[in-house]
């Protein structure tokens, strides 16, 4: 065991920066990484405020953080594609590569997957981690650590766009203008959508999303279905991404896609909800679900490096590691102008 300073969720509602024993054994297929930047995810905040997400319960102290970038400081004997000094980002989920899910290419739904900061697995808000080289990706020189730490949430948008099977020229709609919603809109544009409408009840979030070319912020004071139908000549959007996870969004969700269109469920509702299945059947809608991502990290990095996707405007604040608790408390505030908060570590 190796003792390191980390941001530890002691129990629901209690965070501390302290030393904790973490397993840090470097295997032949692993790399050791000095963490530079970590993003605060909504799941991190939910564990902090609620102590659980569904079946995953914080029963013992757990290090938070899973959106990370850093520098390789050591490599295992069998690692050839990375070297000491490489700047990297990491896919936080580690599957069993011999599982049936992994062999099918859907390793994100491998029942044996371990994921940073998902009980009982520790996260990466600590100076150094050991991670499989196969899930560690070199950052191009023009991609900053801050952008590298944004690859993880952007990968969710990439997964959603891939599941939608977008046809060039499609019209998209995103419900929910949080970090995942905005990044899903950007991924949908990169995937071929001619334009993407985005809707939220918080005007400030829509202002952030609307700054991007091709993203059309709808009026939060008007029904989303009315605006979508008006914008499409009464036809509806070709692809709809539900990214809010809010039960109210499902009341009129199936009024927004066109007949034969696609709805991709990205947001995860915390509370029970109902939706009108007959309305979906009457349009023969194709419905897809998203759980994290698989096989998209490389393409996400390529898009960021190309300049076609600029995630820098979504970074609302950066805190030094010693102010990690303050950073999480601000995240709990859920300021309407905040999109993504990040923490930087020394060294």
Give the C-alpha separation, 205 to 182, whole Å: 9
Identify the CATH class of 2-150+311-344.
alpha beta
Domains of the chain by residue range = 2-150+311-344, 158-289
CB 280, CB 252: distance < 8 Å: no
Confidence tier at 124 by pLDDT (50, 70, 90):
very high
Question: Nearest 5°: phi and psi at 53?
Answer: -135, 110
Average pLDDT of the residues in 312-332: 97
Average pLDDT of the residues in 169-174: 98
Q: With 70 as the cut, is the pLDDT of residue 1 above it?
A: no
Other C-beta atoms lying within 10 Å of the C-beta of residue 33: 26
Confidence tier at 192 by pLDDT (50, 70, 90):
very high
> Strand ranges (DSSP E) for 79-194?
87-90, 93-94, 114-115, 128-132, 136-138, 171-175
Average pLDDT of the residues in 172-196: 97
Percent of the chain with pLDDT over 90: 93
Give the C-alpha separation, 208 to 313, whole Å: 8
Structure letter (DSSP) for residue 207: H
Q: With 80 as the cut, is the pLDDT of residue 2 above it?
A: no
Q: What architecture (CATH level 2) is domain 158-289?
A: 3-Layer(aba) Sandwich (3.40)
Q: Kindly give the residue spans of alpha helices, DSSP state H, lying in the chain.
A: 42-50, 100-103, 145-148, 151-164, 179-190, 203-209, 224-231, 277-282, 297-306, 324-333
Q: With 70 as the cut, is the pLDDT of residue 347 above it?
A: no
Average pLDDT of the residues in 309-329: 97
- In this structure, are strands 114-115 and 93-94 parallel, antiparallel, or unpaired? antiparallel
Torsion angle, CA of 167/171/174/175, rounded to 10 degrees?
Answer: -130
258-310 pLDDT, tens digit each: 999 999 999 988 777 788 999 999 999 999 999 999 999 999 999 999 999 99
Confidence tier at 209 by pLDDT (50, 70, 90):
very high
Average pLDDT of the residues in 215-219: 98
Whole-number pLDDT of residue 3: 85
155-165 pLDDT, tens digit each: 999 999 999 99
Average pLDDT of the residues in 166-184: 97
Query: In the 3-class helix/strand/coil scheme, how is 40-78 assigned residue by residue?
Result: CCHHHHHHHHHCEECCEECCCCEECCCEEEEEEEEECCC
Average pLDDT of the residues in 57-81: 97
Peptide bond into 120 cis (omega under 30): yes
Give the C-alpha separation, 292 to 206, whole Å: 24
Give the C-alpha separation, 79 to 94, whole Å: 17
Q: With 60 as the cut, is the pLDDT of residue 73 above it?
A: yes
Whole-number pLDDT of residue 150: 98
Average pLDDT of the residues in 172-182: 97
């Amino acid at each position: 065991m190796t003792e390191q300073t980390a941001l530890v969720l002691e129990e629901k509602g209690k965070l501390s920066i302290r030393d904790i024993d973490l397993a840090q054994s470097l295997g032949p297929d692993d790399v050791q990484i000095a963490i530079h930047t970590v993003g605060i995810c909504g799941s991190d905040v939910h564990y902090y405020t609620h102590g659980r997400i569904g079946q995953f319960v914080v029963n013992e102290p757990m290090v938070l953080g899973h959106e990370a970038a850093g520098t390789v400081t050591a490599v295992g004997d069998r690692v050839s594609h990375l070297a000491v000094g490489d700047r990297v980002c990491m896919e936080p989920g580690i599957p069993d590569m011999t599982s049936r899910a992994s062999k099918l290419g859907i390793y994100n739904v491998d029942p044996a997957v371990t994921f940073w900061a998902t009980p009982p697995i520790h996260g990466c808000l600590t100076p150094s981690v050991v991670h499989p080289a196969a899930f560690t990706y070199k950052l191009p020189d023009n991609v900053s650590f801050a952008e590298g730490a944004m690859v993880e949430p952007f990968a969710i948008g990439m997964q959603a766009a891939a599941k939608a099977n977008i046809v060039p020229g499609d019209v998209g709609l995103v419900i929910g203008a949080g970090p995942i919603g905005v990044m899903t809109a950007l991924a949908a544009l990169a995937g071929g959508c001619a334009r993407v409408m985005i809707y939220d009840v918080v005007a400030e979030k829509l202002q952030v999303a609307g700054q991007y070319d091709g993203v059309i912020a709808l009026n939060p004071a008007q029904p989303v279905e009315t605006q979508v139908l008006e914008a499409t000549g009464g036809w509806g959007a070709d692809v709809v991404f539900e990214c809010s996870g809010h039960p109210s969004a499902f009341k009129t969700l199936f009024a927004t896609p066109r007949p034969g269109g696609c709805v991709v469920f990205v947001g995860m509702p915390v509370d029970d909800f109902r939706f009108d299945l007959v309305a979906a059947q009457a349009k023969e809608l194709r419905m897809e679900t998203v759980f994290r991502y698989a096989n998209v990290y490389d393409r996400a990095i390529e898009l960021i490096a190309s300049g076609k996707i600029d995630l820098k405007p979504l970074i609302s604040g950066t805190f030094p590691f010693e102010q990690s608790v303050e950073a999480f408390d601000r995240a709990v505030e859920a300021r309407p102008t905040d999109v993504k908060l990040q923490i930087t570590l020394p060294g």
